[in-house]
Structure 1
């Protein structure tokens, strides 16, 4: 009989170092909120099996880029992992169990699969929290190799990276120094928080306040120092009729960011909920 596969406890995550957070297990923990019956061992075993299938291919004296090319060929061509171009905003693209089951995802969820598989094979692949589109990077002899997991791990040139970054920098292309800063490795905490923010954004667009509250709550568990998560959970609580929670979270937000751009609007909401009786326990 196999030992139980235990995922982390949400209440312990803030105490982990930024890269001590287990990437796969915490991504599955996020998914378990939506899929309470998921078997985390099955997904860990799937990645283990993928690595075992690849290992003989990578034996011998081949360099890192060649190894990564073989991994990407297996992951994207043989197994069929792909970016979901037709239903990009489907929340299933952000839940790692669904990504591994359906072999469809968005850049960040495909990057997590690629990172987890590649690291099992001894390659130092990292995520890059690039503006607009998550990427991955591998150190090589003459610098770094940057790849796009949404497009089968295609390498991305420095010129293309500058062009991609430009709309997020007021239309100005970054210089080489700025680009290197943008391409810094993303910690596990940054990756997991970005996955949760993506989900929160999707649920905000749908006015799915229960899931907005849940994803904001999980963001607070992972990164309690991000005031926007307290604001968003407070606004969701307000919509759900949980007035006490809304008051506490909005007050926390305004105390943490007294000069926020939306300070006046949030103060008005706080005054409103302070005079409202709670509908929920």
Structure 2
């Protein structure tokens, strides 16, 4: 798979309904789009291994216990505490090789195995730290893939929410803190993380690729194109930045004012 093949796959994923979104394959395509020199088969094999182990453990363990035991125990997946800012932590192929990464990258393997085994597991766009929500007979539970899939108690969720800056009246609302998101939103969050980190170190080429992947994954959202434009401007590619701003304006008239103002500023630099 080369970069063009990866973009085609992401374009197809973007056109899929949320229920048919190919999470693992789309995550692999994102990794290949970033670095096409690698073989993605190991990531596919790890996903298949997770499904196989989980199907066996579910015969004798609860869903939340089985998930944690498979992902952290059988597969050895966990959070990277020592090199947290490493770009490899947000890349599915690198996570496969290292068996550690960011919570949202690890969550891709949890979600893939759970889907194949019939569990109701969804991502939670928790502020500052990605979590998973699993439905059990006793009600929904929050799991932390970064911490070996352990259950996060409601009091801990509230504490984390307050630490992230949420107001007390919101931090006490577990229904809001544990609101599930689509698999598409999970992968978009991962690309958002890559974009933010790359932009912070002025790696604008990498930031552009991450923003472009978001645009392909969520083709009705104008915001990724604004980020593509910013990354291209950072590289001095002003004509490309203008093209991206035009795409943003076309997608959402609500973005027109901001996009037009930015476009005029870029055009003045171009002239």
Q: How far has the Cα of 1:174 moved from its partner?
A: 2.3
SS of aligned partner of 1:75: helix
Size of the aligned set, in residue pairs, is 263
Counterpart of 2:20 in 1: which secondary structure? coil
Return closer, same or farther for 1:182/1:67 CA change in 2, 3 Å cut-off: closer
Q: Does 1:138 align with 2:134?
A: yes
Aligned to 1:3: none
Greater shift after overlay, 144-153 or 226-235? 226-235
Match of 1:72 in 2: 68
CA shift for structure 1 position 239: 2.5
Give the TM-score, by structure 2 length: 0.85
| Partner residue, 1:273 | 266
SS in 2 for 1:89: coil
Note if contact 2:205-2:231 (Cα within 8 Å) is conserved in structure 1.
Answer: yes
Structure with greater helix share of residues:
2
Q: Kindly state the Cα deviation for residue 100 of structure 1 after the two structures are TM-superposed.
A: 1.2
- List alignment gaps of at least 5 residues for structure 2: none
Aligned match of 2:194: 199
Contact 2:71–2:149 (8 Å) recurs in 1? no
Looking at structure 2, the residues matched to 142 and 259 of structure 1 have their Cα atoms a distance apart, in angstroms, of: 49
Q: Which deviates further from its counterpart, 251-260 or 35-44?
A: 251-260
Residues of 2 paired with 1:14 and 1:77: CA distance?
Answer: 33
CA distance in 2, matches of 1:105, 1:175: 27
- Confirm whether residue 166 of structure 1 aligns to residue 159 of structure 2: no
Unpaired runs of 5+ in structure 1? 1-5
1:110-189 mapped onto 2 (5 Å cutoff): 110-168=106-164, 170-174=166-170, 178-189=173-184
CA distance in 1, matches of 2:150, 2:213: 32
Secondary structure, counterpart of 1:19 in structure 2: helix
CA distance in 2, matches of 1:249, 1:51: 40
Per-residue deviation, 1:212: 1.3
Larger-Rg structure: 1
Match status 1:223 vs 2:201: no
Distance 1:11 1:74 in 2: 32
Return closer, same or farther for 1:256/1:217 CA change in 2, 3 Å cut-off: farther
Q: Provide the C-alpha distance between the structure 2 equivalents of 1:137 and 1:258, rounded to a whole number of angstroms.
A: 36
| TM-score, normalised with respect to structure 1 | 0.82
- Give the SS at the match of 1:113: helix
- Quickly say closer, same or farther: Cα 1:173–1:76, change in 2 above 3 A: farther
Question: Secondary structure, in 3 states, of the residue corresponding to 1:133?
Answer: coil
What RMSD, in angstroms, separates the aligned Cα atoms of the two structures?
A: 2.6
Deviation of the 1:52 alpha carbon? 2.6
Give yes or no for contact 1:115–1:125 (8 Å, CA) kept in 2.
yes
